[in-house]
Amino acid sequence: MSAPLLEVSNLAVRFDTDEGSVHAVNQVSFTLEEGEALGIVGESGSGKSVTALSIMGLVPTPPGRIEGGSVRFRGRELLGAPERELRRIRGREVAMVYQDPMTSLNPALPVGRQVGEIVRHHLGLDRRQAVERASELLALVGIPNAAGRLGDHPHQFSGGQRQRILIAMALSCDPAVLIADEPTTALDVTVQAQIVELIKELRDRLGMAIIWITHDLGVVAGLVDKITVMYSGYAVEQAPVRELFARPSHPYTVGLLRSLPTFGGQRHRLTPIPGSPPDLSRREDACPFAPRCDWVIEPCRENFPDLASVAPEHDAACHRRDEVRDTPALADATP
Amino acid sequence: MNAANSNGALLEVRDLVKHFPVFGLLRRKVGAVRALDGISLDIRRGETLGLVGESGSGKSTAARTILRLLEPTGGQVIFDGQDITAASRKALRSIRPRMQMVFQDPYASLNPRKTAGSTVIEALEVNRIGTASERRRRVAELFELVGLSPRLRNRYPHEFSGGQRQRIGIARALATEPHFIIADEAISALDVSIQAQIVNLLDDLKQQLELTYLFISHDLSMVRHISDRVAVLYLGKVAELGASQDVWERPLHPYTLALLSAVPVPDPVRESQRERIVLSGDPPDPAAPPSGCRFHTRCAFATDLCHTDEPVLRDLGAPQAPHMVACHHAERIRGSHGTGKGITP
């Protein structure tokens, strides 16, 4: 077997702050094959965005610091690679779309120039070719009358259109991997549906691999092939998407599913996860989810469970992973 | 008993209008953003009315105009028999404690320099409720009520998590013993696992204190979960209004159909089999709403009639279960429910 397109192993990232060191990402590993779509799901502070930034080599240093692990793209190590090499990969091979389309665009430049700049830089096109490519790209992402709008500034577009423009910029060099960090969080549900459909369609057409980072299990359910659930900087569960929803094997994943109102089903009382997300500056040997977990037993407070197999291609970091997997997630069963 | 109580309504909104002027050169008024363009709805005692719509639909303007935090351009708001829109400042002062609001952002809506306890005490002081020692006792009670330990009263907002901060916001809203609470995107800024905690808390408080809610959110599945009835707003008008279950299971307005089909389902099997009605384009500019039916520019059902004639809000529900809709083609949509053929123009 050849090397995967992207292979992240044992990634560890730490932020040094006045109040001590925050362990943002701990021993996170996953792989991404050509054309595959991975969802990284987690709440605020779970480390999902820092994981994405590390792949792009964009963790601000200091205060950030990559403590260990490796990120290989087509077999090449990216961690510690010279900035020149990273710059060639970033944007061209691995492209990223961010949450906030307004702050990611330069408000003072026409969008045609912003899209054109990327292809001129990476692909060495001349001015005329760049204009042509820019209008092609804007048409590709569904901006009506694209050629006529190259001279318009970001504020002349709606929020959904600005997100489309960012996607156009990300796609401009035909990347092998598109990393989307909560690209629909700031948008209305109708516009979110448009963007999700657009990404699906582009993926079918262009065959790129996708990493979709979100806090919303619903959004990725119909979009990705597999999911990594993160909690407190750890990958706590990894599985193909259908398996994860059908047989969640980490209590946190079960909790996330049970705190969602079931749409179209009977009205029932929600089952929230008690407590609050943990403070990342304190790292203990215990399982970080233990204080909020219904399944907690003595070993959970003593040592952190490894991310280990519970079924083929399905890993969970829980001492009771087999029992959790065998309990129907949405039934009113308590452990 | 007065007229307002006879139909069980705690709050009546009649043809409420709020326009924001748009100024051009030299501060000359050149137009108006018609944020609310004549909405009418009742909120019954003890119910939760959900309010949904895209950004720019007028949800938050409705909340603020109902509480008269914004002066309405026209129309009436009648709370418990009293016309709020015509009330004097003095009269308002006695009405306000009975209507409260919980805001979206628990980070921005708490004063960072005030302890949690003094934030809640302030609500009592402003309304001249109780003596100093009674107020302190009441704060402890309120903390217990929203699931916070009273020992946390001397902490500052930054020492709390987002969910705890939202609990403080709720305690503050409850301090004056209101009958009616508007929750404007009260759970939107919270993590998924915490949202469910707050929704359950709101549900419990409603039972315990016999509250009435207006629950505003862009999260349709949460609105469905918490609301007895739901109103769908589009560009400052009510497009559809009915019992939550009816609106969700048998929507009559094409806009509601599209909104519902856009909601992601946390189930990969169903999600992959689903047919989506993807709305093309963005909501039009509320400063220049389209002629006729405001939704016609994005509607798959639109005919010539929709371009010229604005549909009125009319009742297509059963005798005991009104289901209001403002669409010329609602009968056709109703006819296709339950045929299993799917709904196509």
- The predicted-structure confidence for B170-198, as pLDDT tens digits, reads as follows 999 999 999 999 999 888 888 888 889 99
Locate A15 and state its tokens.
């932020």
Position B219 in a domain: no
Q: Which residue do the tokens 């405001």 mark?
A: B294
Helix (H, G, I), strand (E, B) or coil at B87: coil
- The complex's ipTM? 0.80
Tokens standing for residue A9: 């192993």
Pair A206, A171: CB distance under 8 Å: yes
- Report pLDDT digits (tens) over A175-211: 999 999 988 877 788 888 888 888 888 888 889 999 9
Name the amino acid, one letter, at B64.
R
Whether B303 is in a domain gets the answer: yes
Residue at B34 is within a domain:
no
State the pLDDT confidence band at B342, using cuts at 50, 70 and 90.
Answer: low
Average pLDDT, chain B: 88
Count of alpha carbons within 13 angstroms of residue B209, beta-carbon side: 24
Q: Say which CATH number the domain at B254 has.
A: 3.40.50.300
pTM of the model: 0.86
Q: Tally A–B CB contacts below 8 A.
A: 125
Dihedral angle of Cα B68, B73, B75, B79, to the nearest 10 degrees: 0
**Across the interface, do B268 and A276 touch by the CB < 8 Å criterion?**
no
In a domain, B60, yes or no: no
pLDDT band at B140 (very low <50, low <70, confident <90, very high): very high
Interval B73-82 mean pLDDT: 94
What pLDDT digit, counting tens, does each position of B292-312 carry?
999 999 998 999 999 999 999
Q: How confident is the model at residue B3 (pLDDT cuts 50, 70, 90)?
A: very low
- Tokens (6 digits) for B187: 């759970």
In a domain, B276, yes or no: yes
| Interface residues on A facing B, Cβ-Cβ cutoff 8 A | 43-44, 158-161, 188-194, 196-197, 215-219, 221-222, 241-242, 245, 255-257, 259-261, 263-264, 267, 269-274, 276-277
> For all residues of chain A together, what is the average pLDDT?
87
Split at pLDDT 50, 70, 90, the class of A1 is low
- Residue B78 within any structural domain of the chain: no
Structure confidence at residue A62 as a pLDDT band (50, 70, 90): confident
Domain that holds residue B247: 230-345
Q: To the nearest whole angstrom, how far is the Cα of B116 from the nearest Cα of chain A?
A: 18
* Residues of chain B contacting A159 with CB distance shorter than 8 Å: 55, 282
Of A218, A261, A269, the CB nearest to B264: A218
| Better-predicted residue by pLDDT, B34 or B253 | B253
How many domains does one find in chain B? 1
**Burial letters A271-287, b for 16+ CB under 10 A, else e:** bbbeebbbebeebeebb
Q: How far is A233 from chain B (nearest CA, A)?
A: 16
Q: By a Cβ cutoff of 8 Å, what residues of chain B touch chain A?
A: 54-55, 161-164, 191-197, 199-200, 203, 218-222, 224-225, 248-249, 258-259, 261-269, 271-272, 274, 276, 278-279, 282
Confidence of residue B109 (pLDDT cuts 50, 70, 90): confident
- List of chain B residues whose C-beta atoms are within 8 Å of the C-beta of residue A277: 161, 191, 193
Per CB-CB distance under 8 Å, the chain B contacts of A278 are: none
Min Cα separation A241/chain B (Å): 7
Backbone region of residue A284 per phi and psi (left: phi > 0; alpha: psi in -120 to 50; beta: other values): beta
Does the residue B23 lie in any domain?
no
Cβ neighbourhood burial of A67 (10 Å; 0-12, 13-18, 19+): middle
pLDDT of residue B323: 95
Q: Which of A257, A263, A270 sits opposite B200 (nearest CB)?
A: A270
Chain-chain contact of A269 with B203 (C-beta, under 8 angstroms): yes
- At A21-45, the pLDDT tens digits run 888 999 999 999 999 999 999 988 8
With CB atoms and an 8 Å threshold, state whether A44 touches B191: yes
Let me know if residue B169 belongs to a domain: no
